[in-house]
Structures are given as structure tokens and as C-alpha cells.
Structure 1
Amino acid sequence: MLEGPVTTNWDPAETQRVMSGLLAKHEKIDAVYSDYSLGSVGALRAFVAAGRSIPLWTSQDANELGCFWRDHKANNPNFQLGNISGRNWIVRIALRKGVAAVEGIPDPEPSIINLPLIEDSLSPDPKLKPACSTSLPPDALLSSHLTTDQLKTLFGR
């Protein structure tokens, strides 16, 4: 376990560079937790470039991360992926709570939100398999609560 977090500035290229250094320094890496799914893809590319087996990984969902898992799981038996939602939908709750407070009306929604795994490569439930949509851009968050058609419209596809 590292002493603390590794700074990558939420930049996939920087994350790849930093992970390349960590791979050179550490003979064995059993698992990775990343707070930024698109940065994860940079780190995952470092594993591939180094010819190293991809370990257990956890992050937030993103289309590119799900597609990367789909494309590399067969050659990396330890590449297990568990993701929480990227939570871009949470602003809707905040807005409703703010409007309710200004209007002086109750808002029954919880203020504390549990974030379960929404993608779990080990789950027997097919709905929990990491998601990949080749019709959407890499940075699409499939947990956004928007339909694929709405996401296509949003991204101009």
C-alpha cells in the first residue's frame, strides 16, 4: 500500500506516466483504486504497455473504462472491475433541495446518498457487468440516468 494518494491532476496522460513509474518501482500491484475513471484508462494503458497483468480495479463508471474492460478481460484474468456511479446526476437532487429550501416547501429526498457498486465484473447479474456503448463517446457516463438516445443527442451523435 502506498503512503497516500498519487497526484495525477485528473489527466489520463499524466496518470499513464505516473502508473508507468509505479510499475517500474513495484514488482507487484494487487489492486488499484482510482477516483477518476478516465484517468484509470491512462493507468490501464501503462499496464498494457509494460506487459503486466491488470489487477483488481475500482473507480467510477465511464464508457471508455467499460469498453477497456470488455477489450482486455480475456487476457487479464485478474482484471476485476467494480465501479460506483460518476454521480453527474446528483446535481438534480441538489437543485431540487435548494429550490425547496428557497420556496419553503419540504423535500423528502435523502441528504445522504448511498453509492452501491453499479458495475461489478464478478456479479452473476448481467445488469451489473461493466457497460460499453460503441455509439457513445469515451467520456459518456452511462449511469447518468439518461437513455442512450438522450446521451446521443447530448453528444451530437
Structure 2
Amino acid sequence: MNKERKAAPAAVCLTALALLASGCASTTASTDGSAALQTGSSDYGAGDITDYCPDEPTKVAYAKGSNNTWAQITLAEIKDEASKCETITDVIFTDAQGNQQQAVSDLNGLVAQGVKAIVIQPEFGRAQIPSIAAATQAGVGIVPLISDPGGIVGTDYPDAVLEDPNAAGAEWAKWLDATVGKGTVAFLGGTPGAASSSLFFEGFKKALKKYPDLELVSDSVIDTNWDAGQKKRVVSGLLAQHGRIDALVSDYSLTDTGVIDAYNAAGLEPPALTGLASGNANGCQWEKENFPYMTLDETTTFGRIALRKALAAAQGMENDEPSMVKMPKAIDTEAGTNPKCLPDLPPDADLTSKLSPEQLKSALGQR
């Protein structure tokens, strides 16, 4: 039996955030209400989708602004979660190929097809709110994933699943205190002005107040365009200016291979390195370098929470899993949790997903 069906209360409108989407981050913060901070922060959700399985045959969908390896793994996670409900007949994926108008058209098309629950990654921010709100008005349970479009929760959409930048900052600072103790730190972000980088930096900077022996070399985000080659060039410049920096924090760990390359080129011992959203390339590099390393991960699994929330909303049910999620600590070499390296998978494959290596290969078109 499903949980008793009743409408979830509308959340209170608070400050807007726009958060990282695993290497494809929004650079624009919304200016009105959004999902962020509306339900506080909590640990990763562990709900049971069978509580929300529809009574009737139902189509669900994952609508993405652009396609990449991360998106394919997230789609596979959503499909795996949906497979636990016999009444879910289709899991549809749409890829807007980086085109805003196509993203709007894709969503309208899903509603026209009778899709009842949609996990959406609104990478074009507020521009997608009218179509998201229209889907909500049509009775579709639509839940933004990781990218925060702004709008008003409870009106434009019922709920969202976002990353918690303050919790991330606290974890990074605590780990660096234990690992480095005293030394210099740099924070590496993405494109100039990226709101997600600013939010993660502010969360980290606030957390550093507890650890005065850790000193930032720059009181602002250091832009790297989330690109490994650019990170190598930027970090090489930082090393030339400051000498060896003891630790670096990154809001997109996959491209931190460039950080280690910069230290090697300078003939310096690698730093303590921490961040979020790692990939296969990091583990393969770590096997050769063995530097102190910690990441917050499992972001592809957030799609499972979003699907459960979308199904609940479509049926007028409550779902009390967190909207602002603390990313789990997936790698911590100081605690003996080392990164994985699977050479037969792509360098950008997220090995912290809930999928087995065989499922990952299938999701990425490999056998």
C-alpha cells in the first residue's frame, strides 16, 4: 500500500541559490524565491520508492539541458530506481543539446505525452520557470535536480533536490584541519562569476573561521573554467607567485588532474586536495601519485531522490526527504577510503554512483 495521499504543504520562499551540476553549473543566481534552504539541510535521502509507486501505468522522464557522461549515469540511476515500480511503463530522456528553446520545447512535449513525473535539470535558470510552472499547473510532479531555477517552491514546482554548499564547506575545512593542520589553501572555481562557485567558496570561507591556521592565498574564487588544462596553467601561476601551496579545494574535482600535473611540472610534492564531483580519471591519477585526497560525491544518485519526490508530488503525497542534501564523503585517503580506477571506463565516469561496474558500462554504451 502507498502512503496516505495528501497534498504537501507549500514551502516558504527564501534566498535563491544556483548550484553546480557536475561540471555544468549555472552562472546566474535567481533573484526571487527558490528551493534552496527552504527545508534546511539533511543527510542524503534513503527513501523507499515503493511508497510512491503509482496505482496506474505511469510515464516518467528526465529532462536535461545538455548530455554528457554524468547525465547518462544519472539517467541509469533513475531508470534503476524506476524499475522498482511495476506501474512505471516508460522512462523518457530528453537532451536539449545546450539550447534553451529546445529545453522549453522538450518539457512541453513531455507534458503533452502525458508524462506524470519529471526530474528536470533546468540549466537555463529562470528562463525555464514559465514552462516548469505550466507543467505544475497541469498536474505534473516536476522536481528540479541540482540546478536551481529560482521561482517559488509550492507554486512553480513542488520541491527540488540541491547540493548544500555550507555543509560541503564545513567538511572540506574540517578535513584540511585534520590533514594539513597549518598552511596555505587556494579555492578553485569555474567560469568567471559562476554563482555555484561563489556559494561553495562562501561556505568554505565561513567554515575556515574555526581553523585560523589555514590561510587562504586569495580572498576570492580562483577561476579555472572547470577545465583540467586551464587548472594546470592557473595553479602553475599560483605556485610561481606563492611557492608551494599546502592544500587546494575545488568545486569540480574531475578536472583536478590539472592541479597534480602543475605540481609535478614544478617539481613540488603534491598538495592535500579536496572537492566534489570526482571521476575515474582522479582515481587513476591517484594510483600513481598517492596524495592526500577527499571528495564529496554520489551526485548521480540525487536523481533517485528527485524521482521519488516527483512521483509523490504527482499523486498529492508528502515526501520528507531533504531538498538541500549533504553530499556523502565518498573518498578519504586519510581514512583508508581510496578512489577507484577502472581503465575500461571513460575518464569522466562517476564511480561513486550506486550502479555496478557492469551497469555503468551498459549505461555508457560499453560491453
Asked if these proteins are the same fold (TM beyond 0.5), I'd say yes
C-alpha distance in 2, partners of 1:44/1:23? 12
What does residue 46 of structure 1 align with? 262
In the alignment of these two chains, the number of paired residues is 149
What does residue 106 of structure 1 align with? 318
Relative to the length of structure 1, the TM-score reads 0.86
What does residue 282 of structure 2 align with? 65
What does residue 32 of structure 1 align with? 248
Relative to the length of structure 2, the TM-score reads 0.39
Does the residue aligned with 1:129 lie in a helix, a strand or coil? coil
What does residue 151 of structure 2 align with? none
Verify the 8 A CA contact 1:119 1:131 in the aligned structure 2.
no
C-alpha distance in 2, partners of 1:131/1:141? 10
Q: Give the unaligned 5+ runs of structure 2.
A: 1-215
Q: Structure 1 residue 81 and structure 2 residue 274: aligned?
A: no
Amino acid at match of 1:152: K
Does the residue aligned with 1:89 lie in a helix, a strand or coil? helix
Which of the numbers 144, 151, 154 marks the counterpart of 2:360?
151
Amino acid at match of 1:20: S
Amino acid at match of 1:11: D
- Report the alpha carbon displacement of residue 3 of structure 1 after superposing the two structures with TM: 1.3
Q: Give the unaligned 5+ runs of structure 1.
A: 74-78
Off by >4 Å, runs of 4+ in structure 1: none
Verify the 8 A CA contact 2:298 2:328 in the aligned structure 1.
no
- Report the alpha carbon displacement of residue 107 of structure 1 after superposing the two structures with TM: 2.1
- Report the alpha carbon displacement of residue 103 of structure 1 after superposing the two structures with TM: 1.7
More strand by share: 2
Give the structure with higher Rg (CA). Answer: 2
What does residue 346 of structure 2 align with? 137
C-alpha distance in 2, partners of 1:28/1:11? 21
- Report the alpha carbon displacement of residue 149 of structure 1 after superposing the two structures with TM: 0.4
- Report the alpha carbon displacement of residue 86 of structure 1 after superposing the two structures with TM: 4.9
Q: How has the CA–CA distance of structure 1 residues 86 and 9 changed in structure 2, closer, same or farther, with 3 Å as cutoff? A: farther
RMSD across aligned positions (CA): 1.6
Verify the 8 A CA contact 1:66 1:130 in the aligned structure 2.
yes
